[in-house]
Amino acid sequence: MTESGAVISKAVIPAAGLGTRFLPATKATPKEMLPVVDKPAIQYVVEEAVAAGLSDVLMVTGRNKRPLEDHFDRNYELESALETKGDEARLQRVQESSDLATMHYVRQGDPRGLGHAVLCAAPHVGDQPFAVLLGDDLIDPRDPLLARMVQTRAERGGSVIALMEVAPEQIHLYGCAAVKPVEGGDGDLVRVTDLVEKPDPAEAPSNYAIIGRYVLDPAVFGILRETEPGRGGEIQLTDALQKLAADEKVGGPVFGVIFRGRRYDTGDRGDYLRAIVRLACEREDLGPEFRDWLRSYVDEEM
């Protein structure tokens, strides 16, 4: 286990999954590049990391990685065209993503699971605690979660996972945590005692689902190296975290921060549509007109 106060500066964003739930849109485009209103989902995630103080970002990519890299790089041709037109507002929007963070990339090769994707980050991360943000999980910027998790690691050491209460009949879609209270936890902090990946509802130890934000002790790398493929033949991050939770001597305790804010799984078609409608309604520029249209659509068509 590393010093609990070690500063966290690195974020790892796994974005090498196949995105099969979104085919055919994701046949030649990573699902993280699908637009949520007018920004690709992945930009919200990088912005979230930066807002929590993590400006060194390693993206784990696979096939079709070009659009992800290009989005966070300069586009001189486009910039010069906008400059010539004097379109300052759009120029600024184009430059925002390339000025955001220090970006690094590593390729996963075969998508052998989330645990394997995280292990690909080991040479870049080294012996420091680090954050993992799933590239298709969107946390509303007004409900900061990662900063709370970083603070928990600084105060208590170990690893920190994000949990969200879901309906019992939904728990089989997630990793699930068994938890117990911790002292001084402000009502949103628990100690994780066990983890199960996608349990049958009858066997689920709780209805706390693991969502896509983690702050991890680097001890997780040693465990991942020894973790055999689990559910679905993939190397599961949940299995490695379960081992961390079972033996505090390896990487310190595992805590859970219970998130009660707005979160969207943009890899799921229904949630993706909800994210777009909600964020569009709340936008100052698009919202008023879009809300009017939506109201009349619901009144007339539904």
Contacting residues toward ligand UTP, per CB under 6 A: 14-22, 60, 108, 111-114, 116-117, 134-136, 267
Q: How far is the CB of 132 from ligand UTP (least distance, A)?
A: 9
DSSP one-letter string for 33-58 = GSEETTEEHHHHHHHHHHHTT--EEE
When the beta carbons of 20 and 84 are compared against ligand UTP, the nearer one is: 20
Q: How far is the CB of 23 from ligand UTP (least distance, A)?
A: 8
Q: How far is the CB of 18 from ligand UTP (least distance, A)?
A: 4
Q: How far is the CB of 13 from ligand UTP (least distance, A)?
A: 8
Contact indicator for 283, 292 with CB cutoff of 8 Å: no
Q: Which residues contact 4 (CB under 8 A, 6 or more apart)?
A: 153, 154, 155, 156, 157, 158, 252
- The Cα–Cα gap between 293 and 284 comes to 15
When the beta carbons of 34 and 179 are compared against ligand UTP, the nearer one is: 34
DSSP one-letter string for 210-233 = EEEEEEE-THHHHHHHHPPP-GGG
When the beta carbons of 113 and 256 are compared against ligand UTP, the nearer one is: 113
When the beta carbons of 12 and 82 are compared against ligand UTP, the nearer one is: 12
For 15, the enclosing helix (H) or strand (E) is strand 10-15
When the beta carbons of 67 and 111 are compared against ligand UTP, the nearer one is: 111
Q: How far is the CB of 259 from ligand UTP (least distance, A)?
A: 17
- The Cα–Cα gap between 111 and 16 comes to 6
The SS3 of residue 102 is: strand
